[in-house]
């Protein structure tokens, strides 16, 4: 029933919202029947059994189209399934389709997709955020019960905030990246997107696992995230970075986020302001590191091994060149060029190495903050969802919108974004709670108490 309801919702809303690149109607119905049988005969139990999930289109799904919303992977059907998705399948999840995203997860609006922009279900003239905009819009439009996204620099938290849903970016290494098509490998993490923190904690518990196929996977023994779903924040120390509330922050977002802090204070949390001064360096450091890694990761798309190949060419080099020129979109090309530049000899020390040093200093600043606070509270994004088309014309402005999310990836920390109000246009506002490494439970607890 849940699967049919999701498919009906897709039928009714998809033309307007465009959350999906692929809807696997037949596959989902067949799988739902199999799962139902297992539920009936008692071989499958648990909260995710038979529940329809949408998967961001940068996670490999065996025999199911996986495009990264790029022309270059327009026909790519992987021969294996990403570990996180496989974990969900073991829990009885039913994959309903693959969601739209910014091409190769590069963007903040889901407008760089080769398959058309996704619209914000709250107001179709606005973007859903990105890059996991399809996943967040699908949850908001009830086209699925929950979704998986990936977060390299905010791509779960920022679209969650724009679409009024809840999303968690776990500590780096908690969810296996095996089968996640890499953007910035040292920053990428898969995480859940759902209607509330209870669902997110349940899903995170199912997808988190130690995986020796991912060399950065961490063996943790504290993965029972649902234990943190208790309505008690007495004595919890919450730090509010002054630097997060300065210039560029929309006054309505500021008010809603500070109100959320008050709610938690009234429930017994100890709230205090502090300085987290290095944030201004986070954007340049992130874009140098992410583009550098992307330029290397995307070298594999050459028309030989996967996907698209140019129709006409003369010789091998010309085939590479034409395939990549025709297969990648503008934003992806911009980042490959930027990344190749910062890694090239003569510039490596001045840009890439400096960015890595900045990353280390940002981590240190967070370490000092977490010596004093359990949770850091702030906005997920400086504004609510912008109108479609506004960001594409001004990439620098779009990059600046990542100010509150990217330092979390640079430091490898867990972060959650959850709804904390609406602006005067009725668009959702997102609250971000950041925890120290491996302290997902603290942010889940604070989020649960706030909800
Ligand atoms: N907006 C950021 C970028 O464009 C973050 C994207 C992401 O987290 N995948 O790189």
155 is catalytic: yes
Share of the chain above pLDDT 90, in %: 95
Cα 335 to averaged position of ligand 1 atoms, centre (Å): 11
CB of 31 closer than 8 Å to CB of 24: no
Residue 107 in contact with ligand 1 by CB distance below 6 A? yes
Instruction: Quick: pLDDT tens for 37-59.
Output: 999 999 999 999 999 999 999 99
| 391 in Cβ contact with 127 (< 8 Å) | yes
183 Cα nearest atom in ligand 1: 9
Closest ligand 1 atom number to CA of residue 187: 8
Domain ranges of the chain: 2-228
Q: What is the ipTM of this complex?
A: 0.98
CA of 423 to the centre of ligand 1 (A): 24
Within 13 Å and on the Cβ side, how many CA atoms surround 6? 29
Question: What pLDDT score does 400 carry?
Answer: 85
Question: What is the tens place of the pLDDT at every residue in 62-77?
Answer: 999 999 999 999 999 9
Catalytic-residue membership of 131: yes
> Does ligand 1 have an atom closer than 6 angstroms to the CB of 105?
yes
Return the ligand 1 atom nearest residue 398 CA.
1
The whole-number pLDDT of residue 308 equals: 98
Q: Of the listed 70, 108, 113, 155, which one is catalytic?
A: 155
Cβ neighbours around 119 below 10 Å, total = 23
What is the rounded CA–CA span in Å between residue 287 and residue 409? 12
With bands split at pLDDT 50, 70 and 90, how would you rate the model's confidence at 113?
Answer: very high
Q: Which residue owns the Cα nearest ligand 1 atom 4?
A: 107
Q: Give, in words, the CATH class of 2-228.
A: alpha beta
Q: What is the pLDDT of residues 240-289, one digit of tens each?
A: 999 999 888 999 999 999 999 999 999 999 999 999 988 889 999 999 99
Q: Is 108 in the pocket of ligand 1 (CB under 6 A)?
A: yes
* Whole-number CA gyration radius for the chain: 21
Q: Quick check: CB of 398 below 6 Å from ligand 1?
A: no
The per-residue pLDDT for 398 is 85
Q: Which tokens sit at 329?
A: 């979109």
| CA dist., res. 240 & res. 230, Å (int) | 22
Q: Within 10 A of 302 (CB to CB), how many other CB atoms are there?
A: 18
> What is the tens place of the pLDDT at every residue in 387-437?
999 988 888 888 889 999 999 999 999 999 999 999 999 999 999 999 999
Q: Give the 3-state DSSP-derived string for the chain, with helices as H, strands as E and coil as C.
A: CHHHHHHHHHHHHHHHHCCEEEECHHHHHHHHHHHHHHHHCCCCCCCCCCCEEEEECCECECCECCCCCCHHHCCCCCCCCCHHHHHHHHCCCEEEEEECCCHHHCCCCCCCCCCCCCCECCECCECCCCCCHHHHHHHHCCCCCEEEEEECCCCCHHHHHHHCCEEEECCCCCCCCCCECCCCCCCCEEEEEECCHHHHHHHHHHHCCCCCCCCCCCCCCCCCHHHHCCCCCCCCEEEEEHHHHCCCCCHHHHHHHHHHHHHHHHCCCEEEEECCHHHHHHHHHHHHHHHHHHHHHHHHCCCCCCCCCCCCCCHHHHHHHHHHHHHCCHHHHHHHHHHHHHHCCCCHHHHHHHHHHHHHHHHHHHHHHHHHCCEEEEECCCCCCCECCCCCCCHHHHHHCCCCCHHHHHCCCCEEEEEEEECCCCCEEEEEEEECCCCHHHHHHHHHHHC
Q: Is 106 in the pocket of ligand 1 (CB under 6 A)?
A: yes
Q: How far is the CA of 92 from the centre of ligand 1 (A)?
A: 30
Query: Is any atom of ligand 1 closer than 6 Å to the C-beta of 151?
Result: yes
The first and second tokens of residue 280, run together, are 């201004």
> Residue 359 corresponds to which tokens in the numbers above?
């990353």
**What is the distance between the alpha carbons of residues 51 and 273, in angstroms, rounded to a whole number?**
41
The catalytic position among 131, 161, 209, 217 is: 131
> What's residue 77's pLDDT?
98
pLDDT, average across residues 369-390: 97
Place of tokens 């539920």: 39
- The pLDDT score that the predictor gives to residue 387 is 96
What is the pTM (predicted TM-score) of this model? 0.98
pLDDT exceeding 70 applies to what percent of the chain? 100
Closest ligand 1 atom to 331 CA: 4
Q: How far is the CA of 287 from the centre of ligand 1 (A)?
A: 9
Decide whether any atom of ligand 1 lies within 6 Å of the 152 Cβ: yes
Terminal C-alpha separation, the chain: 28
- Return the minimum-mean-pLDDT range out of 180-189, 203-212, 330-339, 386-395: 386-395
**What band does 102 get if pLDDT is binned at 50, 70 and 90?**
very high
């Amino acid at each position: 029933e849940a699967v049919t309801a999701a498919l009906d919702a897709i039928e009714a809303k998809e033309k307007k919202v465009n959350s999906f690149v692929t809807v696997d109607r037949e596959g989902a119905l067949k799988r739902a029947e199999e799962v139902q049988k297992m539920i009936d005969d008692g071989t499958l139990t648990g909260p995710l059994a038979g529940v329809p999930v949408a998967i961001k289109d940068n996670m490999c799904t065996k025999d199911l189209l996986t495009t990264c919303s790029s022309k270059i992977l327009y026909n790519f059907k992987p021969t294996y399934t990403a570990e996180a998705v496989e974990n969900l399948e073991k829990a009885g999840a039913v994959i309903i389709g693959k969601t739209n995203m910014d091409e190769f997860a590069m963007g903040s609006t889901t407008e760089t997709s080769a398959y058309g922009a996704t619209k914000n279900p709250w107001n179709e003239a606005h973007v859903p955020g990105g890059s996991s905009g399809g996943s967040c819009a699908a949850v908001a439009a009830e086209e699925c019960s929950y979704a998986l996204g990936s977060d390299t620099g905010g791509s779960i938290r920022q679209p969650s905030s724009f679409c009024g849903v809840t999303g968690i970016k776990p500590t780096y290494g908690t969810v296996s990246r095996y089968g996640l098509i890499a953007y910035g490998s040292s920053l990428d993490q898969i995480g859940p997107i759902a209607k509330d923190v209870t669902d997110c904690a349940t899903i995170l518990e199912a997808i988190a696992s130690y995986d020796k196929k991912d060399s950065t996977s961490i063996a943790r023994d504290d993965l029972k995230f649902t234990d943190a779903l208790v309505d008690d924040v007495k004595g919890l120390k919450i730090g509010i970075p002054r630097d997060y509330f300065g210039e560029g922050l929309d006054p309505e977002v500021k008010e809603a986020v500070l109100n959320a802090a008050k709610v938690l204070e009234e429930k017994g949390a100890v709230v205090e302001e502090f300085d987290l001064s290095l944030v201004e360096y986070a954007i340049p450091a992130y874009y140098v590191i992410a583009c550098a890694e992307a330029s290397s990761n995307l070298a594999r798309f050459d028309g030989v091994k996967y996907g698209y190949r140019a129709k006409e060419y003369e010789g091998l080099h010309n085939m590479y060149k034409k395939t990549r020129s025709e297969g990648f979109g503008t934003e992806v090309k911009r980042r490959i060029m930027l990344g190749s530049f910062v890694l090239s000899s003569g510039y490596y020390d001045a840009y890439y190495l400096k960015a890595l040093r900045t990353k280390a200093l940002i981590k240190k600043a967070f370490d000092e903050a977490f010596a004093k606070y359990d949770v850091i509270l702030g906005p997920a994004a400086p504004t609510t969802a912008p109108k479609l088309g506004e960001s594409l014309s001004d990439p620098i402005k779009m990059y600046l919108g990542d100010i509150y999310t990217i330092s979390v990836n640079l430091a490898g920390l867990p972060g959650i974004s959850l709804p904390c109000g609406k602006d005067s246009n009725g668009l959702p506002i997102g609250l971000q709670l950041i925890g120290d490494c491996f302290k997902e439970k603290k942010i889940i607890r604070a989020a649960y108490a706030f909800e």
